[in-house]
Chain A
Amino acid sequence: MGDDRGIVLRTEGLTKHYGGVRALEAADFELREGEHVAIVGDNGAGKSTFVRQITGVEQPTAGKIFFEGREVAFKNPIEARNVGIETVFQNLALADDLDIPSNLFLGREKVYFNLGPFSVLNERLMLARAKDALNTTGVKIPDLRAKMRNMSGGQRQCVAISRAASFASKLIIMDEPTAALGVQETAQVENIIRRLKARGIPLILVSHNLRQVLDLVDRIWVFRRGRIVGALDRDKTTGNDVVAMITGVTAGGEAAFV
């Protein structure tokens, strides 16, 4: 099994086939404590497939996942969440007709006393905690009681990330968090990510944006056609190396193989 000390998440030969399609093939991946890594690759390279396997959205065809040294097999995202893995999905899992506190606490609402489904919600507590959560992530939204529907893409993304950040104790995974955002909003999301780094919470960032990746993370894992083709240290690499590895056109990229 090797020595898993200092390793938060590790996969061994992780494989996912959809019928005949080999979306992910024998992925060996690792994430160290406090480390921020990026997963990059072309469309269909297997990035999102990989994320779906480690967050329990789907179950792998083969291979093993180790979280904090123990082998895990999440049957659903809730199991992953219960051990401290929070995910911000590409299609934001927000309820548009609910306000911010309701979305932050969706599925883990605070109640006054337990009456099963008819438990009375402690809205005051959730509102206060929501304010705190947005403060620690540095998100400014004027009206917390407004419905998500009425918010901009950036505000929505910030809420989704705040939800993950305020509950994730051990690992946050973000799938293309800034794909649909403007410049200003992207900067805000990047700031949240920097704060997470400062708090020592490990992060897996799936991104197409190489400038962002080189700016934010410690290591870059490159996927190509369902395989992990390399992991590059941010400090020892350039954008060209990464592009070469993504496209498979070698330009000295091979040297950076781990």
Chain B
Amino acid sequence: MAEVAGVVKETPSANARRRTWPPELNIFIGLVVIAAIFEILGWTLQGQSFLANPARLQIMILQVAIVGIIAVGVTQVIITGGIDLSSGSVVSASAMIAMSFAQTSTYARAVYPTLTDLPVIVPILVGLACGLVAGLINGLLIAYTKIPAFIATLGMMVSARGVADWYTKGKPVSFPTDAYAAIGAGFRPVLIFLVIAIIFQLILRYTLYGKRTYAIGSNENAARVSGINVERHLVLVYAIAGLLAAVAAIVVSSRNLTAQAGMGFGYELDAIAMAVIGGTSLAGGRGSITGTVLGALIFGVITSGFTFLRVDAFYQEIIKGIIIVGAVVQDVYRQRLRGRI
């Protein structure tokens, strides 16, 4: 009896505390702390500032922007309680196919010699369609055959890479038109990333789509008996994730002026890492795009910081792996803690 009263009394203050302290703030503090550590290490080990170097920051932000676009889609997938391992391969397949419709006539060995110098909208739409189809297949498989998202998207990861290899029999696709090359030029990838992030943060927060996404990840059964068409919604979420992978594909192929079957390798894991570091729970139901943007920045600071400190690339991968596992461990721990309340 006393216990019950205690719980009732305690809850409001606990709620109030949680509301004034959004989870994103913790991640932001994490970002500041990590950046500060690298700054200190920079002065002590390298004798120079880590942050006061515009060129380095610019490279870092450009690096995270492209995977960040993917992470926006992956975050939504993870909030529904799913996972998407196919994004990296979808990037390569979409980039190859989009690029083949973006080549200039000045290049003699175009993939489609009769289809050169097309308006830039054609490769864009073709690329987006590739990502959309891949995402739809993922979503339909997961929603209607009930196979785990892990398996369905693992299959897509292998198959899409196969498509990219088969498409030109392993040859890279290069020499895009100037208009296509302009898409990812300069600082535009960052702009595209931020616009996409803001749009989806608003959609997740203020629309039916967002409410359903969180509801399904939080309690799929509750969502279903409440009348939400869970299957249809999952297809939509995976389709959007595929579409955003295609956006990243267009941006990165435009920026590199070439597309090849091996590109995008490991993007899916980097994107998942950004989401998880940004506070998205692999158990579903929790996370935000704001968190993922901060997660992407943490990811970028760490990668760029290690390079700055001349840490061997092999060690970088090992440490990155540890950080991802650490983020998941603290999420699981936090959930157990809440379960006890």
Residues of A within 8 A of B (CB): 57, 77-78, 81, 89, 91-98, 102, 106-109, 111, 115, 117-121, 123, 142-143, 145-147, 149-152, 154-155, 182-185
Task: Count A-B contacts at CB 8 Å.
Answer: 115
Is B7's beta carbon under 8 Å from chain A?
yes
Provide the residues of chain B in CB contact with A111, threshold 8 Å: 208
Q: Are A93 and B219 in contact (CB under 8 A)?
A: yes
Q: Are A152 and B8 in contact (CB under 8 A)?
A: yes
Q: Are B12 and A95 in contact (CB under 8 A)?
A: no
Is B3's beta carbon under 8 Å from chain A?
yes
Provide the residues of chain A in CB contact with B318, threshold 8 Å: none
> Which residues of B (205-230) have their CB < 8 Å from a CB of A?
206-209, 211-212, 214-215, 217-219, 221-223, 225-228
Q: Are A96 and B219 in contact (CB under 8 A)?
A: yes
Q: Are A151 and B1 in contact (CB under 8 A)?
A: no
Q: Are A143 and B214 in contact (CB under 8 A)?
A: no
What is the bound-complex CA distance between A119 and B203, given in angstroms? 9
- The smallest C-beta distance from A95 to any residue of chain B, in angstroms, reads 4
Q: Are B219 and A95 in contact (CB under 8 A)?
A: yes
Q: Are A145 and B19 in contact (CB under 8 A)?
A: yes
What is the bound-complex CA distance between A91 and B221, given in angstroms? 10
Q: Which of B5, B12, B222 contacts A93 (CB 8 A)?
A: B222
Is B233's beta carbon under 8 Å from chain A?
yes
4 new A-B contacts, CB < 8 A, other than A95-B223, A109-B208, A152-B11, are A107-B223, A117-B233, A121-B207, A123-B206
Q: Which of A97, A107, A123, A183 contacts B226 (CB 8 A)?
A: A107
Closest 7 CB pairs of A and B: A107-B226, A107-B227, A97-B285, A182-B4, A146-B15, A95-B218, A93-B222
Q: Which of A93, A102, A183 contacts B1 (CB 8 A)?
A: A183
- The smallest C-beta distance from B237 to any residue of chain A, in angstroms, reads 10
A150 touching B208 in the complex, CB below 8 Å, given contacts A102-B215, A185-B4: no
Q: Are A150 and B207 in contact (CB under 8 A)?
A: no
Q: Are B285 and A117 in contact (CB under 8 A)?
A: no
Provide the residues of chain A in CB contact with B12, threshold 8 Å: 142-143, 146
What is the bound-complex CA distance between A96 and B226, given in angstroms? 14
Q: Which of B8, B11, B219, B236 contacts A94 (CB 8 A)?
A: B219
What is the bound-complex CA distance between A143 and B14, given in angstroms? 10
Q: Are B207 and A96 in contact (CB under 8 A)?
A: no
What is the bound-complex CA distance between A106 and B227, given in angstroms? 8
Q: Are A146 and B18 in contact (CB under 8 A)?
A: yes
Q: Are B286 and A120 in contact (CB under 8 A)?
A: no
Q: Which of A91, A92, A98, A154 contacts B211 (CB 8 A)?
A: A98
A96 touching B285 in the complex, CB below 8 Å, given contacts A77-B225, A155-B11, A183-B1: yes
Q: Which of B7, B8, B209, B211 contacts A102 (CB 8 A)?
A: B211
Would you call the interface of chain B mostly helix, strand, loop, or mixed? helix
Q: Are B209 and A118 in contact (CB under 8 A)?
A: yes
Q: Which of B1, B15, B222, B286 contacts A106 (CB 8 A)?
A: B222
Provide the residues of chain B in CB contact with A146, threshold 8 Å: 11-12, 15, 18-19
Provide the residues of chain B in CB contact with A95, threshold 8 Å: 214-215, 218-219, 222-223, 285
Is B108's beta carbon under 8 Å from chain A?
no
Is B338's beta carbon under 8 Å from chain A?
yes
Q: Are A117 and B212 in contact (CB under 8 A)?
A: yes
Measured CB to CB, the nearest residue on chain B to A144 is B15
Q: Are B211 and A109 in contact (CB under 8 A)?
A: yes
A117 touching B208 in the complex, CB below 8 Å, given contacts A184-B1, A184-B5: yes
What is the bound-complex CA distance between A142 and B14, given in angstroms? 11
> Which residues of B (1-43) have their CB < 8 Å from a CB of A?
1, 3-5, 7-8, 11-12, 14-16, 18-19
- The smallest C-beta distance from A185 to any residue of chain B, in angstroms, reads 7
- The smallest C-beta distance from B319 to any residue of chain A, in angstroms, reads 31
Identify 15 residue pairs between A and B in the complex whose beta-carbon atoms are under 8 Å apart, listed by A's number.
A57-B225, A93-B221, A95-B223, A96-B285, A97-B214, A98-B218, A109-B208, A115-B207, A117-B212, A118-B209, A119-B207, A120-B207, A121-B207, A154-B4, A182-B3
A121 touching B211 in the complex, CB below 8 Å, given contacts A81-B227, A93-B221, A150-B11: yes
Provide the residues of chain A in CB contact with B8, threshold 8 Å: 152, 154-155, 184
- The smallest C-beta distance from A127 to any residue of chain B, in angstroms, reads 14
Q: Are B207 and A149 in contact (CB under 8 A)?
A: no
Provide the residues of chain A in CB contact with B14, threshold 8 Å: 150
Q: Are B4 and A183 in contact (CB under 8 A)?
A: yes
A121 touching B228 in the complex, CB below 8 Å, given contacts A106-B222, A146-B18, A150-B18: no
What is the bound-complex CA distance between A93 and B227, given in angstroms? 11
Is B45's beta carbon under 8 Å from chain A?
no
Q: Which of A91, A118, A155, A184 contacts B208 (CB 8 A)?
A: A118
What is the bound-complex CA distance between A49 and B205, given in angstroms? 38
> Which residues of B (164-215) have their CB < 8 Å from a CB of A?
203, 206-209, 211-212, 214-215
Provide the residues of chain A in CB contact with B228, threshold 8 Å: 106-107
